[in-house]
Amino acid sequence: MTDAGGSLAGLRELYDRELAAWLAAEDARAAAGRRNRWLVLAGGLGLAAAVLAYAWRSTGNNIPVLAAVLLGAATLLIVRVMAHRPPDAARRRMLEVLARFLGFTYARDGAAFPLAPFAILGLAGCNDKQLEDRLTGRAEGLAFDLAAGVLAERPAGAPASARPRVRLDGIVMRFTDPTPSARFRLLPHIASRTAAGTGDDTFDTVFTLEADNLATAQRRLDPATRRAMLRIAGLIEGATVSIGFDRGEVLLAFATHRRFDIGPPRPPLTQFQRFESLANQITIVFEIASLLRTAARGA
């Protein structure tokens, strides 16, 4: 957290000051909700059983049976409604607190995240986007913008019942390019894909280079930049990443189901480790910015 302008001690102080009481209240509400659900469940099903017992003793009258069934169904429905809580409330509250701490701007809804710059990665045409957790700010002096979610494409004229084609399930990011130059993209390597490489076997087994001006792109992908791209590719465990260089920006699309996770949403939420884990996940922006800066220096 030192790159973010704070230490672990500062993070703990932040948690105690802005989150501990709120999370404790959420846990208390959840406990009260569980207790109330059990009371409603026991009372409703008990009453339904009593009505059913009365119907069993009665003859030629199906109305009590129907009433018992409806009462039981209504009880289960009420319990289910009572159990509904926004699953992301705690995670989003933590993100808001962390964003302020790091000097970022956080928006729960990522609908306004611009996709046009991601044309080089084939994502600009995604007309069915479900993005959230948008973060904007500066890291290592580089402006960035990111959002998480699903990007899909629904063909024009397709019926409403048609399933859109998912293009990305993960995280999209934009960074200012410290050394803007060529326009090209790096896609996850596929053995069957025929494309020119960089001559670096390690790099070429991870990425496939595609560029209109191959020579310019290869010059830009000097050893320092290749090392940085390989490091970026390994930042999120199990993820694949596509990287585009275009008009002074570096565009990244991570395909991953792991995004800003605080663990199971069930109580207790008052665990500092959840907050600490989320903070470590967010610091990926500092890691990427630092790698881009290092590559620009040719280190």
Residues 121-155 have pLDDT tens digits of 999 888 888 999 999 999 999 999 999 999 998 87
Considering only the C-alpha atoms of the chain, give the largest distance between any 2 of them, rounded to a whole number of Å: 91
Distance of CA 38 to the CA centre of its chain: 33
Confidence band, pLDDT 50/70/90 cuts, at residue 1:
very low
* Distances in whole angstroms, Cα of residue 125 to Cα of each of 83, 146, 168, 236, 279: 38, 18, 12, 26, 32
Cα–Cα distance measured from residue 278 to residue 7, given in angstroms and rounded to the nearest whole number: 15
| Interval 193-207 mean pLDDT | 81
Average pLDDT of every residue of the chain: 83
Does position 40 have pLDDT exceeding 90, yes or no?
no
Q: What would the pLDDT profile of 237-283 be if each residue is shown by its tens digit?
A: 888 999 999 989 999 999 988 778 888 767 788 889 899 999 989 98
- pLDDT, residue 85, reads 57
Residues 6+ apart with CB under 8 A from 124: 115, 116, 117, 118
| Interval 214-232 mean pLDDT | 93
Pick 229 or 22 by higher pLDDT: 229
Pick 89 or 224 by higher pLDDT: 224
Confidence band, pLDDT 50/70/90 cuts, at residue 38:
low
Pick 251 or 20 by higher pLDDT: 251
Cα–Cα distance measured from residue 233 to residue 236, given in angstroms and rounded to the nearest whole number: 7
**Residues 235/271, Cβ–Cβ less than 8 Å:** no
- pLDDT, residue 4, reads 45
- pLDDT, residue 6, reads 46
Cα–Cα distance measured from residue 265 to residue 269, given in angstroms and rounded to the nearest whole number: 7
Strands 165-176 and 128-139: unpaired
DSSP percent split of the chain into helix, strand, coil, nearest 5: 45, 20, 30
Residue 245 pairs in a beta bridge with 184, 250
Q: What would the pLDDT profile of 150-192 be if each residue is shown by its tens digit?
A: 999 887 777 777 788 889 999 999 999 998 878 999 999 875 5
Sign, CA torsion 235/292/255/1: positive
| Interval 26-42 mean pLDDT | 68
Omega into 268 within 30° of 0, i.e. cis? Answer: yes
Confidence band, pLDDT 50/70/90 cuts, at residue 7:
very low
Confidence band, pLDDT 50/70/90 cuts, at residue 113:
very high
296 DSSP 8-state letter? H
Tokens representing residue 298 in the block = 């040719």
Pick 123 or 10 by higher pLDDT: 123
Q: Please report, as a single letter, which amino acid is at residue 21.
A: A
Residues 6+ apart with CB under 8 A from 27: 267, 268, 269, 270
Q: Name the helix (H) or strand (E) containing 223.
A: helix 223-233
Cα–Cα distance measured from residue 273 to residue 283, given in angstroms and rounded to the nearest whole number: 15
- pLDDT, residue 37, reads 66
* Distances in whole angstroms, Cα of residue 160 to Cα of each of 128, 152, 157, 163: 12, 14, 9, 8
